[in-house]
Amino acid sequence: MGIADHNSVTASNTTPLLDVRGITKVFGSLVANDHVNLTIAPGEIHALLGENGAGKSTLVKMLFGVLDPSEGSIIWKGEEVRISSPSEARKLGIGMVFQHFSLFEALTAAENIAATTPISQIADTARRLSVDYGLPLDPDAMVGDLSVGERQRIEIIRCLLQKPDLIILDEPTSVLTPQEANKMFETLERLKAEGKSILYISHRLDEVKRLCDTATVLRHGKVVGHCNPQEETATTLANMMVGTDVQNASRELSQAVEPGEPLIEINSLDRPPATPFSIPLRGINLKVRAGEVVGIAGVAGNGQGEFFEAVSGEALQTQSDSVRLNKVDCGRLGISGRRLVGAAFVPEERLGHGAAPGLSLSDNMLLSRHTTDSKTMLGALGYVVTSAVTAARKRVVKEMDVRKSGEDPEAAALSGGNLQKYLIGRELDRKPKVLIVDQPTWGVDAGAAARIRQAIIELARSGSAVLVISQDLDELFEISDSIAVMHDGRISAPLPIAEATFEKIGLLMGGAEPGHMAYEDVKTAEETEV
């Protein structure tokens, strides 16, 4: 198996850079971190592994001073420290690049960087760093206009300006194309060569195997082991993370069905940008047939949300045949009309879009079902038949194995995975002919994710058409019959799964462009100076 005592893993006998002992963090009744031990040597890339909800983000927030530990000690460069704020962490030499960036959209890139350092030093140092580490950047661009990859560069430069000894990266490649991820790995190797250490949080096992010297695995807030990823396989690592052998959903689950007629037809769909910071959709054409699952890959911020709203009817089209669902022209129908035609939708954001956080599960059932189930759920004068709504809620909870506390709790009280199971189950309960789902398993634990993917495949095999938008390429390769790529508001022609490879999809995700203009300019300037 390879679970090794962590002392033998460190390469040298010098003092570890970071020594975390018995760190515990409790939120109310939830123990997010339970006596966690971790050691990082100088010049080491250390992976922090675990599935969603294992406690990785909580741990690093304590290292960065955003949260206080309930118990335990942190020893930095041989001395015990109390990190009570991010500025303290930065002073010590710990830097962090968040998964969800802490950027200010209405300020420029330079101002965003300045938020943590004195203004005068910015321009030169930032430009130099950006070139040295291969992170091209336009200081005067407003962050709201930048792509996700560009925003991440600002976060990284902001972090590097502080000259940290330890850099914490939280799921850095979740927002990058495979090619951009490779560039980032080069940057990290450069930093390691300079003697800096990196704490690399990820659930992507092939990256971890490629990049990291050591790994600590968390499960349900506890450390289940330390190991050397180079000596492990993806399977052994996955088993450490999840604890049991996880069944991957299989496309060959039931008899493969001959695809029927197209039940989702998108014809030359255009959508102008709704807000100054949103992406316009341009000339999208797509067909999904009955019995098929079509996946749409793409890095966040390329128009997925806008596309979802256009298809769901939250944004109407000018031409009624721009969107056809279940063989009916839907372009001028709102979401209720589209649901009546037999379509169901699950948006990316659970709380605040798919469900109202402060309302109960029953209320959230009524939310998407009051039009389609008006005969059973509504009475005279719009009276709500609570018994019918309750029955539906209980049905879905049972069917999808939704774990909750209390009979009918608020949506916000459920964990991400359980809420997502409920929201998908809510739609499947209607047996829709068409299902469109955006990021079905984002932030969801492995068990729930498998259940959800299974449900999606089963729905397709029963004769429905399913469209899945996802940033998780592994997931798409697992469940799709064909994969299309969304980039900058456009969708490529779908590739049948047999012909699709990570390489091809990755190139399409990046828009297949060789390099950022600014980077080329700066590089040329450097060369001519020499």
Partner 1 sequence: MDMFQNILLTIATASTPLLIAAIGELVVERSGVLNLGVEGMMVIGAVCGFAAALMTGSPWIGVLAAIIAGMLLSLLFGFLAISLATNQVATGLSLTLLGIGLSGMIGENFVGQAGIRLPNLDIPVLTDIPMVGRLIFGQDPLFYISLALTAGVMWFLFKTRTGLTLRAIGDSHKSAHALGINVLKYRYLAVMFGGGCAGLAGAHLSLVYTPQWVENMTAGRGWIALALVVFSSWRPWRVIGGAYLFGAVTIGQLHAQALGFGIPSQFLSSLPYVATIVVLVLISRNRRLTVMNTPASLAQPFVPDR
Partner 2 sequence: MRLELIKRPQQSAFFSAVSPLFALLLTLIAGVIIFTLLGKPPLAALYTYFIEPLSEVWQLHELAIKAGPLIMIAVGLSVAYRSNNWNIGAEGQFIMGGIAGSLIPILVPGFQNFMTLPLMLIFGFAGGALYGAIPALLKTRFNTNEILTSLMLVYVAQLFLDWLARGVFRDPNGNNFPGSIRFPSAARLPEIDPAQGAAHWGFVLSIVAAVIVWAMMQYSLKGFEVKLLGESPRAGRFAGFSSARMVFFAFLLSGGLAGLAGISEVSGAIGQLRENISPGYGFTAIIVAFLGRLNPIGTIAAGLVLALTYLGGEGAQMSLGISDKVARVFQGLILFFVLGCDTLIHYRIRLVFGDPAAKTAAEG
Supply 307's token pair: 């596309």
Q: Which is nearer to partner 2, 30 or 115 (CB)?
A: 30
Collapsing DSSP to helix, strand or coil, 85 comes out as coil
Tokens 């005279």 appear where? 380
DSSP 425-450: HHHHTT--SEEEEESTTTT--HHHHH
30: Cβ–Cβ under 8 A, 6 or more apart, which residues? none
Supply 70's token pair: 């309930």
Q: Near partner 2 by CB under 8 A, which window of 226-234, 366-374, 482-490, 500-508?
A: 366-374
Choosing among partner 1, partner 2, none, which partner's interface includes residue 115 (Cβ < 5 to 8 Å by kind)? partner 1
Q: How far apart are CA 100 and CA 113, in angstroms?
A: 16
- Residue from 158, 339, 461, 487 that binds partner 2 (CB under 8 A)? 339
Facing residues of 20 across strands? 38, 74
Q: Which is nearer to partner 1, 101 or 185 (CB)?
A: 101
380: Cβ–Cβ under 8 A, 6 or more apart, which residues? none
38-77: which residues touch partner 1 (CB under 8 A)? 65-68
> Does residue 212 touch partner 2 according to CB under 8 A?
no
Q: How far apart are CA 507 and CA 47, in angstroms?
A: 27
> Does residue 156 touch partner 1 according to CB under 8 A?
no
> Does residue 519 touch partner 1 according to CB under 8 A?
no
77-96: which residues touch partner 1 (CB under 8 A)? 85-90
Choosing among partner 2, partner 1, none, which partner's interface includes residue 283 (Cβ < 5 to 8 Å by kind)? none
> Does residue 505 touch partner 2 according to CB under 8 A?
no
Q: How many residues interact with partner 2 (rule CB under 8 A)?
A: 39
> Min. distance of Cβ 31 from partner 1 in angstroms?
16
> Min. distance of Cβ 398 from partner 2 in angstroms?
22
Q: Near partner 2 by CB under 8 A, which window of 46-54, 346-354, 429-437, 456-464?
A: 346-354
Q: Strand 323-325 and strand 94-97: pairing?
A: unpaired
> Min. distance of Cβ 96 from partner 1 in angstroms?
9
Q: Which is nearer to partner 2, 68 or 401 (CB)?
A: 68
398-427: which residues touch partner 2 (CB under 8 A)? 405-406, 409-410, 412-413
- Residue from 336, 376, 390, 454 that binds partner 2 (CB under 8 A)? 336
- Residue from 43, 303, 342, 347 that binds partner 2 (CB under 8 A)? 347
Choosing among partner 2, partner 1, none, which partner's interface includes residue 382 (Cβ < 5 to 8 Å by kind)? partner 2
> Does residue 334 touch partner 2 according to CB under 8 A?
yes
* 319-342 burial: b if 16+ Cβ within 10 Å, else e: eeebbbbbebbbbebebebbbebb
56-75: which residues touch partner 2 (CB under 8 A)? 68-69
Choosing among partner 2, partner 1, none, which partner's interface includes residue 314 (Cβ < 5 to 8 Å by kind)? partner 2
Amino acid present at 493: A
> Does residue 356 touch partner 2 according to CB under 8 A?
yes
Interface characters, 96-135, with partner 1 (x: CB under 8 A): --x--xxxxxxx---xx-xxx-xx----------------
CA dihedral (123, 124, 128, 131) in degrees, to 10, reads 40
- For 61, 74, 77, 111, 192, the CA distances from 89, given in Å and listed in that order, are 10, 12, 13, 21, 20
- Residue from 366, 444, 466, 491 that binds partner 2 (CB under 8 A)? 366
- Residue from 99, 116, 125, 371 that binds partner 2 (CB under 8 A)? 371
- Residue from 312, 317, 420, 441 that binds partner 2 (CB under 8 A)? 312
> Cα-flanking dihedrals φ and ψ of residue 51, to 5°?
-80, 180
Q: How far apart are CA 510 and CA 487, in angstroms?
A: 7
- For 23, 373, 393, the CA distances from 366, given in Å and listed in that order, are 43, 9, 9
Q: Near partner 2 by CB under 8 A, which window of 148-156, 344-352, 443-451, 488-496?
A: 344-352
Long-range contacts made by residues 352-355, C-beta under 8 angstroms, separation at least 24? 354/423, 355/411, 355/419, 355/422, 355/423
> Cα-flanking dihedrals φ and ψ of residue 49, to 5°?
-105, 150
> Does residue 359 touch partner 2 according to CB under 8 A?
yes
25-54: which residues touch partner 2 (CB under 8 A)? 28
Determine if residue 283 is left, alpha or beta; phi over 0 gives left, psi from -120 to 50 gives alpha, anything else beta: left
Determine if residue 229 is left, alpha or beta; phi over 0 gives left, psi from -120 to 50 gives alpha, anything else beta: alpha
> Min. distance of Cβ 518 from partner 1 in angstroms?
23
Question: Among 249, 300, 223, 217, which Cα is nearest to 51's?
Answer: 217
262-291: which residues touch partner 1 (CB under 8 A)? 275-277
> Min. distance of Cβ 415 from partner 1 in angstroms?
17
Amino acid present at 372: T
> Min. distance of Cβ 384 from partner 2 in angstroms?
6
Q: Which residues bind partner 2 (CB under 8 A)?
A: 28, 68-69, 82, 84, 312, 314, 334-336, 339, 345, 347, 349, 352-359, 363, 366-368, 370-371, 378, 381-384, 405-406, 409-410, 412-413
Q: Which residues bind partner 1 (CB under 8 A)?
A: 65-68, 85-90, 98, 101-107, 111-112, 114-116, 118-119, 275-277
